[in-house]
Every structure is written in structure tokens, then in C-alpha cells.
Amino acid sequence: MIRKVFFAATLVLTSALVLTSCPDVALAGSPASAGQGAGPAESAAPKSEAAEAWDAVKNTTNPALLEAFIQRYGTTFFAELAMARLNELKAAAAKARPSAPSLPPMPKDGVRERVALYEEDPTDAKGRRFDGSVIWRTEKIKTNGKPDELAARADVEIPSRGLRMTMSLKRNLDPSLPASHVVELTIAVSGDFDGGGVANVPGILMKANEQARGSPLAALSVKVTDGSFLVGLSSQPSDRQRNVHMLLERPWFDIPINYVSQRRAILAIEKGGTGDQVFKMVFTAWGQYPDSTQPETAASEESKRTMPEEWKRTMTRGSKAP
């Protein structure tokens, strides 16, 4: 189903897709009607392509399919029915939508590094890109009976989408939690956000550059409350070593996002010079910064990939946390 939704824009509900997804439609008149005066060669008029397509999608709860239908059959009466159905789904989603978390304003000082939000678009196979920025800094976390704990924090903003996110990386001090580090994610969207809010964050990936293919951190992601997620990094020695190496050496984060509307997105976040410095400071404070780190060499094929292709690869993977 996920793959059908993703390719809805390029296939645009062509007749081949409709005929393969619909049961056969009987076109001949019934014997009873034929016996009541209908001519022997008469039969019911065949349905139009738009009518066949509408039969396939009229009961769907997926807004992306309805939008693709409207894009393809916008001049027909059935497009009006599809628009009414789409508005009905959006109204129901808005009514059931929980209150989004609120975040403080973006810091006014600090160097802004690059951020890009890539979203699925049923009318464009390449998707949509929205530019934003991130400010990295350290923050002190209060702990009971112990010195303040240092953490790495990122404040992310995508102004054109009304999306804000904070990401905080901490050392795990809870012995009952089988994780070496925890990442807290809080995502807030504007009231008119057409994605309906954030339903899930499957995990976190690290990559060598914006166009490279990301490698997942060994971690487990759970939803805490609406808009809030907790990602625990594996405490297994081999996983921990690999995770720390990628966090320190790879300059870009990928945060895959599933919206309530069933669309998917990727938030690509650059560490930049300020992020590198923040990570070095916190890992040094934790006594986990290696004496010498060898620069990681990205595979040559990674640097050749374009973002749309990587976006499609990442988005078509399952939504399970790595």
C-alpha cells in the first residue's frame, strides 16, 4: 500500500492501474431485463475511465489517492465527488487532531547551519523541498544529587512549512534503560499544517553529505506523546562504538517522518562547524571522545546519488525502527 501511494503521482491512476485494482465490471444487461423487451443485441453502456477509477478510490481513506485522482480527472464530475470526499477526510482529521506541542522561539543568536525538508507529493515524483536552518548549542540538564549534565541540542526551523523541532542528545544515566544515549525529539507544526501532524519518527540516520545515502543508527524509537519521541541508542558494545563513530564523523542527520496524513518526509540536518564543535564538547565532557578519530571516507557511489533518489529509497523502506 505504501508503494502504491508513493507512485500515485507518476501512475496517476491510469487505466491500467484502475483495471488491475478493480473487480471486473459486468457490462451486459441482465437476462431479466432482456426478457422485458430489450433487444437481443442490447447491453449496458460501458463505464468511462473516470467512472472506473472513481469506483476504485471512492471508499479510500488515503488523501493522497484522492488528490492523484483529482489531478488526473479534474475536468469530470467524478473529480467533484473526489474533492468532496477529500474535504470530508481533512475535516475529520482536523477534528480528531490532538493539540500540538508548543516550542519556544528560535534562538536569536548563534550560527545557522543548513536544513532541508523533503516531502512526498502525489503530483510530483521528485517530491517537494523546503529550506530551513538549525542552531546547535550545548545545554545543561539538571540531575538529582549530581552535577549538571551536558547535552547537545539542535533547534530546527522550516518557516515555509510552519514546522519546528528540537533535538537533544544526552548520555543515558538511567541503569534500567538499555541504551547508551537517548535522543529526545519534539516536533511542532502550525495549526493549518496539511500533513495533519507527525504520527511517527522511525529512527535516525547519519550520512556524509546531503545527497548521500544515510546509514541508520542502531536504535529504537518510541512515541512518548503527540509530537514527542524518544530514540534510545543501542548499548551493545559494537553498536555503541559504531553509533558514536557516526555521530562524531558524519556531518549530516536524516530524520525520517511519517505524517498523520500517511505521507512521508525526511528532515536533513547539517552539523556544520558549530555542530561539530558541540558534539566534540559533549562527548569530551562525557569522557567518550576518542583521543584521535580517523576521518571517515564516504563511498564513491554515495556522493553520486541525488537527493530525490535517496529520498525515494529511504521512504520506501519499512517504517520499523532500525
The 10s digit of each residue's pLDDT in 222-265 is 999 989 999 999 999 999 999 999 999 999 999 999 999 889 99
Could you give the number of structural domains in the chain? 2
Same domain, 127 and 260: yes
Whether residue 170 is contained in a domain is answered as: yes
Same-domain status, 225 and 271: yes
pLDDT interval class at 43 (50, 70, 90): low
Residue 46: DSSP 8-state: P
Q: What are phi and psi of 257, to 5 degrees?
A: -130, 135
Of 96, 125, 154, the domain-final residue: 96
The closest alpha carbon to 247, from 274, 283, 273, belongs to: 283
Last residue of a domain, which of 38, 72, 96?
Answer: 96
Query: Which stretches within 159-306 are classed as H helix?
Result: 237-249, 272-285, 300-304
Q: Do 77 and 220 fall within a single domain? A: no
Strand partners, 128: 119
Q: Is 37 part of any domain?
A: no
- Confirm whether 59 is domain-assigned: yes
In a domain, 182, yes or no: yes
Query: Among 77-81, 101-105, 131-135, whose mean pLDDT is lowest?
Result: 101-105
264 & 292 share domain: yes
Mean pLDDT of 195-205: 93
If pLDDT is split at 50, 70 and 90, which confidence band does 302 have? Answer: very low
**Same domain, residue pair 121 and 259:** yes
pTM over the 0.95 mark:
no
> What single-letter amino acid sits at 269?
I
Residue 217 lies in a domain: yes
Across the chain, mean pLDDT equals: 78
* Spatial distance between the Cα atoms of 156 and 130, rounded to a whole number of angstroms: 13
**Residue 280 in domain:** yes
Distance of CA 59 to the CA centre of its chain: 25
Same domain, 19 and 121: no
Q: What is the pLDDT of residue 155?
A: 96
* Residue 44 confidence (pLDDT): 61
Structural domain for 151, as ranges: 112-315
